[in-house]
């Protein structure tokens, strides 16, 4: 749903237990709505079937500069316990098959 996420300052959020994804309307104006949607959809798939975020196990090779940037964002903005799920979500933002892979994961994991 396009509405302000329940977390202050977030561009998106996911509630795996309630199966809800929020995207802040400003992501459209900023030109990052697609990336935010992919990121939150990954979290939705990670939350199935138990409602708790668990890495799916995707491994997509990224250019070193992108990988370092993601690492920096993780270390500055996320608790260490969340790094694996957040890294997977950030990694999928640049995967050309992201929607296809996420749709398959949602179908397989969330039934």
The residues spanned by each domain of the chain are: 32-109
Quote the pLDDT of residue 17.
80
The structure tokens listed for 92 are: 């999928």
Quote the pLDDT of residue 23.
93
User: Smallest Cα–Cα separation from 103: which of 94, 36, 92?
Assistant: 92
**pTM attached to this predicted model:** 0.90
List residues bridging with 12 in a β-sheet: 23
Quote the pLDDT of residue 1.
56
The structure tokens listed for 98 are: 């992201």
Please state the three-class secondary structure of 76-110 as a single string: HHCCHHHHHHHHHHHHHCCCCCHHHHHHHHHHHHC
């Amino acid at each position: 749903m396009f509405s302000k996420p329940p977390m202050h300052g977030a561009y998106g959020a996911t509630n795996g237990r309630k199966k809800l994804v929020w995207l802040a309307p400003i992501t459209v104006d900023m030109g990052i709505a697609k990336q935010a949607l992919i990121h939150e959809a990954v979290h939705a798939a990670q939350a199935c079937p138990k409602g708790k975020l668990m890495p799916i196990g995707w491994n997509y090779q990224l250019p070193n500069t992108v990988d370092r940037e993601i690492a920096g964002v993780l270390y500055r903005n996320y608790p260490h316990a969340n790094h694996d799920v957040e890294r997977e979500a950030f990694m999928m933002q640049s995967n050309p098959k992201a929607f296809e892979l996420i749709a398959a994961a949602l179908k397989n994991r969330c039934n």
